Each structure stands twice: as structure tokens, then as C-alpha cells.
Structure 1
Amino acid sequence: MAWFLNFYRCDTCGRIWTGEWSCTCDDECPHCEARDMSPFDSENLTDIVAKDADGFIAFRSSDSAEHDPDYREVGRFPTREQAEEFLVSVDTA
């Protein structure tokens, strides 16, 4: 399932916050509780690459993710570039 880090700016109080969701959805301002704030930017976190002692691990948010990304390891690689290329090459569905 897709996973996003959404960036919000409140139209009422002007404060900025972030929220992780499975879509680029509207959110409520945690400062003044104004509703229906749309993200002004989003970062796709469906796939991530993490360094470990032996190289790099590719992770993908599981299809069953609902309230958190529930990342699953999908491969280990000697370089970050190989991990990123693998994630691009495999089906995200």
C-alpha cells in the first residue's frame, strides 16, 4: 500500500505540521483544530532504503498497511543504487 509523509499549512492559524497517511488526504490542524486542510506537499514513503552493517536493505509498505506503513523487507543489496533500482523495477501493486 502506498505510504506518504504529508506536509500541511493551516489556513486559519498558519502553523505547519506533518502527518503520515496511506494517501494524500486532508487533515485537521493539531494546533487550532481547523478542518479539511489539504497537504501542500507530500513525500512518497512507500519504498525506503536503509543502511545496515552489510549493505542496504530495501523495504516496501505492505499491502495490509492501515494505520502505519508495516514495512516488509524485499531485498538486500551491496549498494544504495542497486536497492533503489530494484524497488523501481518491481511491481508496486
Structure 2
Amino acid sequence: MAWLLNHYKCDRCRRRWADEWSCMCDDTCPHCGARDMTPYESEELTTLIEEEGKEFVVLWSPETAEHDPDYRELGRFPTREKALEFLAADQ
């Protein structure tokens, strides 16, 4: 399942916020309560590369994720480039 960071702007109060979801879904404004705000942009977070000490860890959100990404570790690499190569080979 995809995991996304959705970016919203409220049509009523004009304030902005971001929220993570498993789809590009409408949200309720946390500032004024206006409903059904559609994201104007979404960032793909299904796979991530996180730096941990001297390693780069590839994380993946599985199809079973629903209310949180439930990331699983796919591998550890000595450089970000090696982690990117791993992800590119998987596609």
C-alpha cells in the first residue's frame, strides 16, 4: 500500500497542514474544522532511506499498512548511493 504525506490548504481559514495517509484522501482542517479539504500535493513515503549512524536503512510500508505505515526494514547499506541502487534494482 502506498504511504503518502498529503499537504492541505483550507478553503475557509486559508491555513496549511500536512498529514500522513495511505491514500490521497480529503481531510478535515485541524484549525477551523472545515471538512473535505483535498490535498494540493502529496509526497510518496512508501519507501524511505533513513540514516542510522554510519548506515543507510531502506524502509518499506507493506500492503497491510492501514492507519500507520508499519515500516519494515529491507536492508542496510554503507552509503546512500548503495541504498538507492538497491531500490532501483527492485523496480
Superposition TM-score, scaled by structure 2 size = 0.92
Report the secondary structure of 1:89's partner residue: helix
- What is the match of residue 38 of structure 2? 38
Which amino acid in structure 2 is aligned with residue 87 of structure 1?
L
1:14 aligned residue: 14
For 1:38, the aligned partner's letter is T
Give the drift of 1:76.
1.0
What is the correspondence of 1:14-93 to structure 2 with a 5 Å cutoff?
14-91=14-91
RMSD over aligned CA atoms reads: 1.2
**SS, match of residue 81 in structure 2:** helix
- Percent identity of the aligned residues? 58
Gaps of 5+ in 1: none
Aligned length: 91
Measured after TM superposition, the shift of residue 72 of structure 1 is 0.2
